[in-house]
Amino acid sequence: MSTDLSISLAELLAWNDEAAHHWNNHLAANPALLEVACDIGNTGNVQGFVRHIWGAELRWANRLAGLENKEPATGPLETLFETHVEARDVFRGLIDGPETAWAEAYVLNFDWVPEDQRRVSRRKVAAHALFHSHRHYAQLATLARTAGFPARFRGDVLFSSALG
């Protein structure tokens, strides 16, 4: 009997969704945290930072799905969270869709990406988007704690119910 040692995109998406719900709940319970200054990515404050996190999820999901990208909402928190929910739903539709679509290459049409590195797998793009959020959630946990709003964020995959 062999054991599948890989982590699926569906599991990464579920882990990401757990973390997003945690942060949405923590920010809703501590609205003053949204105004805490944040210099990460020139976002200005935590609300801008969360907008960046969830907006990036939606931009990457829409790119993979071939959907038009729009500027993410600026607030309030409930509206920002809807950006994450929309991204999650687009990713879920892609993951549940035809497997052949994942075999197609994705071309990163950005001037800042060297031309010889622009062709990547669609799977890599999805993983990038989901790990991007988690890297920022770790930064957000530090911001929240140092600002006096400890989140008790247990975002490590070790504590996720999304992976068996």
Residue 21 has pLDDT above 90, yes or no: yes
Per the domain annotation, does 158 fall within a domain? no
Residue 4 has pLDDT above 80, yes or no: no
The two tokens of residue 156 are 């490590």
Residue 1 has pLDDT above 60, yes or no: no
Per the domain annotation, does 87 fall within a domain? yes
104: DSSP letter: S
Per the domain annotation, does 106 fall within a domain? yes
Total domains in the chain come to: 1
Least confident of 2-6, 70-74, 112-116: 2-6
**pLDDT per residue over 40-86, tens digit each?**
989 999 999 999 999 999 999 999 999 999 888 888 999 999 999 99
Per the domain annotation, does 26 fall within a domain? yes
Cα gap 22→71, rounded to integer Å: 24
Per the domain annotation, does 116 fall within a domain? yes
Measured N-to-C along each axis, helices 122-146 and 9-29 cross at an angle, to the nearest 10 degrees, of 30
Per the domain annotation, does 1 fall within a domain? no
For residue 150, whether the previous peptide bond is cis, meaning omega lies within 30 degrees of 0, is: no
Classify 30 in phi/psi space as left (phi over 0), alpha (psi -120 to 50) or beta. Answer: beta
Model confidence pTM above 0.75: yes
Q: pLDDT averaged over the chain?
A: 92
Per the domain annotation, does 163 fall within a domain? no
Contact 134, 140 (CB under 8 A): no
Q: Say how many C-beta atoms besides its own lie within 10 A of residue 1's C-beta.
A: 2
Per the domain annotation, does 133 fall within a domain? yes
CATH number of the domain where residue 23 is located: 1.20.120.450
Structural domain containing residue 129: 9-153
